[in-house]
C-alpha cells in the first residue's frame, strides 16, 4: 500500500494562466474556498474534479498532483 501526502501545483498553474481563485472556481464548478483548501493541501479532490482541473488548467492530472512520500 502506498502512503504519503498529496501535493499539488494548482496555484502555479493558475498563476501561469492568470486566473484568480474565483475565476478558477467558477470554471470548475466549486467555491473559491475549495480552491483555497486545495492550494493549501487541505483538500484532495475527487478524480472527476482532478480531471476537470487538469482540463481547465491545460495540463495533465500528473502535472498538477503528485504524492510526496514520507522520509
The 3-state secondary structure of 25-67, one letter per residue: HHHHCCCHHHHHHHHHCCCCCCHHHHHHHHHHCCCCHHHHEEE
Which residue's C-alpha cell is 470548475? 28
Q: What angle do CA 12, 37, 62 make, to 5 degrees?
A: 45
Which domains can be identified in the chain, with CATH numbers? 5-65 (1.10.260.40)
Summarize pLDDT for 24-61 with one digit per residue, the tens: 999 999 999 999 999 999 999 999 999 999 999 999 99
pLDDT at position 1 is: 55
Average pLDDT over residues 64-70: 84
Name, in order, each residue with C-beta under 8 angstroms of 13's C-beta and a sequence gap of 6 or more: 57, 58, 59, 63, 64
Amino acid at each position: 500500500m502506498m502512503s504519503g501526502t498529496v501535493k499539488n501545483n494548482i496555484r502555479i498553474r493558475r498563476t501561469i494562466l492568470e486566473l484568480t481563485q474565483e475565476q478558477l472556481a467558477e470554471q470548475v464548478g466549486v467555491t473559491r474556498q475549495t480552491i483555497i483548501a486545495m492550494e493549501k493541501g487541505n483538500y484532495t479532490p475527487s478524480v472527476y474534479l482532478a480531471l476537470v482541473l487538469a482540463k481547465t488548467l491545460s495540463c495533465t492530472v500528473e502535472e498538477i498532483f503528485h504524492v510526496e512520500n514520507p522520509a
